[in-house]
Amino acid sequence: MVIQMDSLWEELEKRVRSYNLGELEREALLNIHQAREYLLALGDASTLTGPLYLFYYMVSLARVIYVCKKRSPFKEVLHGLTTRREETCVTVKANGTFPIFHSIISGKKIKPGTRFCIEELLGMIPWVSNVENTPLPAISASYLLGFLLSMLSRYEPVIWDRFREDHNINLFLKETPRMFLQEVIKNL
């Protein structure tokens, strides 16, 4: 898997350089470097804390897409997502990284207040479930699930502990770093 990931990182950097971003290229490449560091940390973490590293890996790669597609620095500091204590659902907010990222990927805005729960999101991710014609692109669904799992692992460890043993959750945690990176490359 290391060799395959190395070739994916090389392809990503090649795609970024093809945008001829000038000064912005440094920002995009630094976000790639951050994503790689989060991935290394994820490799050393257990499933108890791993979702936090996975989510910030995704955030860094989402920023790369933004810088390349919008040709401007990424300034957003809000996630654009929320979840309530003891819930296993995520709600999209009007502003933030996710609504921006999703609109770049899909060409559509997502209605603020839209909610997605763990099982629904797992059903939208092709490397976890056999799915077709989902309401969200896999890259958006996996980003939402990454956020939700990171929130559970940080703030609701008892609830998260119940989910950690789920086969589909473990498959998501194992396959998403590679698959998300492939989706980012496809979208550049």
Per-residue pLDDT tens for 55-93?
A: 999 999 999 999 999 999 999 999 999 999 888 999 999
Per-residue pLDDT tens for 14-60?
A: 999 999 999 999 999 999 999 999 999 999 999 999 999 999 999 99
Count CB neighbours of 47 within 10 A: 17
**Structural domain total, the chain:** 1
Residue numbers of the domain that contains 165: 2-186
Per-residue pLDDT tens for 114-144?
A: 999 999 999 999 999 988 889 999 999 999 9
Q: Stretch 86-108: mean pLDDT, rounded?
A: 96
Residues 6+ apart with CB under 8 A from 142: 58, 121, 125, 172, 176, 179, 180, 183
Please give the backbone phi and psi of residue 71, each rounded to the nearest 5 degrees, phi first: 55, 45
> b or e along 18-33 (b: 16 or more beta carbons within 10 Å of the residue's beta carbon)?
eeebeebbebbbebbe
pLDDT of residue 132: 82
> What is the DSSP annotation of 135-158?
SS-HHHHHHHHHHHHHHHHHH-HH
User: For residue 75, what are its two tokens?
Assistant: 């300034």
User: For residue 116, what are its two tokens?
Assistant: 């997605």
